[in-house]
Amino acid sequence: MTAPLQRLGAASLNVFAKLGRANLFLALALTGIPEILRRPGLLIRQMYVVGVLSVLLIALSGLFVGMVLGLQGYNVLSDFGAEESLGVMVAASLVRELGPVVTALLFSGRAGSALTAEIGLMKATEQLSGMEMMAVDPMKRVITPRLFAGILSMPLLAGLFTYIGIYGGYFVGVSLLGVDEGSFWSQMQAAIDFREDLVNSVIKSLAFGVIVTWIAVFEGYDAVPTSEGVSRATTRSVVYSAFAVLGSDFVLTALMFGE
């Protein structure tokens, strides 16, 4: 009779315990900031792994997303004789939503899963405990640089994605389908506000950077130190990141663009 209730209670306690561990983990990781200021080499090394190696994927995805937006938008808009608004449609959807969101999803698949697997394996092979033995704080040495590399890389990658995406839409719309070039850009510039759209887009991508990297490094650090545990943690990292990004995107959009 009380067994289902007990299971529910135990499950909720587990969730809360994990949330608590995740927050303590973040607080501890933030205490490593002086360390990365003193030794920026650690951060730069991780920015290479997390950021530079993601550029090609992000750039190509941005190009194709922009080209698809150009094609689909043209088909719908030409029904209303409003092809000139293609620039607005492509730019608004990329700047406000697709840029930050799709970049965050790709980023969690490309970089987040790698971070989780790497840290999880470090834990499974007892490299983290080894560091502690040598009086090196693995938090400051391993976690903080990876966390900040992810947070700093996300807005840059999202900006790149958006910019290339708009040129993808431009290529399809203006070069292939013959939308007027002047109105493509001028209507876009008239509709996209610097403060309302662009700054909010950067804030969004920064928030997603925090979410995705935080989940990735925490799942790695919290993984059961076996090969199965690491594989599960990697899956969880990508799945939770996707949920968290899409869910928080709704909240952020409601706060930024809701009236």
Partner 1 sequence: MDNSRIVEIWVGVFVAIGLGALFLLAMEVSNLAEFREQKTGYRLLARFSNIGTLKVRSPVKIAGVTIGRVAAIHLDPEQYQAVVEMRIQPQYKLPDDSIASIYTSGLLGEQYVAIEAGGSPEFLEDGDEIEITQSALVLEELIGKFLVKTTEESGPKE
Q: Contact residues for partner 1 (CB under 8 A)?
A: 41, 44-45, 47-48, 51-52, 55, 80, 82, 91, 95, 153, 155-157, 159-160, 162-164, 166, 185, 188-190, 192-194, 197-198, 202
| Amino acid code (one letter) for 245 | V
Residue 13 or 56 having the CB closest to partner 1 = 56
Least distance (Å) between residue 159 CB and partner 1: 4
Least distance (Å) between residue 81 CB and partner 1: 9
- Residue 177 phi, psi dihedral angles, 5° rounding: -95, -10
Cα-only R_g, the chain: 21
Work out the number of other CB atoms within 10 angstroms of the CB of residue 153.
26
Residue 17 or 190 having the CB closest to partner 1 = 190
Residue 1 or 259 having the CB closest to partner 1 = 259
Give the Cα separation of 45 and 109 in Å (integer): 20
Answer whether 141's CB lies under 8 Å from 28's CB.
no
Least distance (Å) between residue 161 CB and partner 1: 8
Least distance (Å) between residue 179 CB and partner 1: 16
Least distance (Å) between residue 231 CB and partner 1: 29
Work out the number of other CB atoms within 10 angstroms of the CB of residue 14.
10
Give the Cα separation of 218 and 231 in Å (integer): 14
Length of the chain: 259
Least distance (Å) between residue 51 CB and partner 1: 5
Residue 82 or 210 having the CB closest to partner 1 = 82
Least distance (Å) between residue 99 CB and partner 1: 9
Residue 51 or 73 having the CB closest to partner 1 = 51
Among positive and negative, which fits the CA dihedral 191, 197, 198, 201?
A: negative
Residue 183 or 231 having the CB closest to partner 1 = 183
Give the Cα separation of 44 and 54 in Å (integer): 15
Give the Cα separation of 123 and 111 in Å (integer): 18
Residue 112 or 169 having the CB closest to partner 1 = 169
Give the Cα separation of 84 and 77 in Å (integer): 8
Answer whether 66's CB lies under 8 Å from 94's CB.
yes
DSSP 8-class letter at 176: I
